[in-house]
Amino acid sequence: MKYSIVASVSNKGFGPVVFKGNLKASILKAKKLGYEGIELAIKKPDSINLRKLEKLVNKHDLEVVAIGTGQIYSDYGLSFSDSRKSVRREAIENVKKIIDIASCFNSKIIIGLIRGKIDSSYNFDKKLEITEKRIYECLSECLSYHSIHKVDFLLEPINRYETNIFNTLEDVSNFLERYEDKLEVNRIGILADTFHMNIEEPVIHISIEKYINLIKHVHFADSNRLAPGFGHIDFHRIIEVLKKCCYQGYISFEILPLPDPETSAKKALEFVKAIELK
């Protein structure tokens, strides 16, 4: 198994992130604790000094495994499903800037909260059909960007309390099936997040095994968003299934920085590695 930790380039926003702000300090801490990769949460792509970032990750032999786009939605309200074309356009342009960054590191791009949500339950099925088409159109343009340096995308099922679009692994799988003739679906995988799955999936490890061929990235967080081992999720069964299915991607910890960032990052890795070695 390969492990990474989520770090936010910004000091504020988006709660379940261990390291925030000083990117150099985040990279140094991740390396010192034994992580092989880092997952970045970026809300201002223009603020990234690519040369400096490349130098840092190369010096410390870390991989930038994925880049999250959730802060673009949570902080600026930009999404692929907004009824206003101008807002969707701005969301696309921000993601394109993140593609520029991701292409330098062969990182995957996470499409989570930035897909947005439907504003009411009235005539929901019709609204969902329209919304999925908007998401498809935005994804299609993003996938077409960078004809030479193509990067892969990750669609993350998120629980019903945060969005009403794509709550389960099955939802994402069905969406990809519906658009398989129109999208480069071979470049879109599922990000399976145990925190969201604990709410939406009947049995987490069974769902993972069922959709393992689509799962390209995994987030670990316990039922309370703390580090694995501080809630009730059965990570023994989950790791057992990932090993059985020869999962080759990263496991990334997207957890609350409690009781403090270093302790949470340290305990998360120790707990999961102990299970893996059994």
Enumerate the active-site residues: 156, 254
Tokens of 232: 């009730």
Residue 110 and residue 156 in contact, taking contact as beta carbons nearer than 8 Å: yes
3-state helix/strand/coil string of the chain: CEEEEEEECCCCCCCCCCEECCHHHHHHHHHHHCCCEEEEECCCHHHCCHHHHHHHHHHCCCEEEEEECHHHHHHHCCCCCCCCHHHHHHHHHHHHHHHHHHHHHCCEEEECHHHCCCCCCCCHHHHHHHHHHHHHHHHHHHHHCCCCCCCCEEECCCCCCCCCCCCCHHHHHHHHHHCCCCCCHHHEEEEEEHHHHHHHCCCHHHHHHHCCCCEEEEEECCCCCCCCCCCCCCHHHHHHHHHHCCCCCEEEECCCCCCCHHHHHHHHHHHHHHHHCC
Backbone angles phi, psi at 28, to 5 degrees: -60, -40
